[in-house]
Amino acid sequence: AENDSSKLSPLLIHVLEAMLLAFVTSAMNYPFTRLLRLPMVEVIHGLFETCPNDHGTQLGLCDATSVNGFASGSELEAWLLLAAAVRWLQTAVTFGALIPSGLFIPSLYIGANVGRMVGLRAIDLSSSIFGERAQEQINPSVFAMVGAIATLS
């Protein structure tokens, strides 16, 4: 007869899986950007607000020296895209695990990051076509809201 004490119980396997997921998630979030380090709800709030605001400044989304108050540039756009990609990967993995991880808030987060990045690209494109004055008409936070809504539909 086989020795049943050598087998791992299903409960222990689930606990170990949850611990591994928690460790990998924190290891992926912390070193890169504040967009991943802070709680998702705070980041979404910052992405939805127009500049200047405390959340946006804390996240590096606002720049008082720019024409419209929004920080822009390829580095910020890369961080927004990286944050969305990392969160998408984490959401896909944790959704398959037997732990409560949520889909609603991560979906809002991913869409808001991508939407904000598209809004920043729209500012750059409009300023190259229509000049600096056109930048004042585009608000990347509205793009963040539309992106968040789009990921839910």
CA atoms within 13 A of residue 128's CA, in its CB half-sphere: 6
pLDDT band at 134 (very low <50, low <70, confident <90, very high): low
Residues linked to residue 70 through DSSP beta bridges, in sequence order = 62
Report the distance separating Cα 100 and Cα 108, nearest Å.
17
Segment 116-120 shows an average pLDDT of 95
- Quick one: CA dihedral 88, 40, 111, 127, positive or negative? negative
Tens of pLDDT, residue by residue over 32-81, are 888 999 999 999 999 999 988 888 889 999 998 887 889 988 999 999 99
Residue with tokens 């419209």: 68
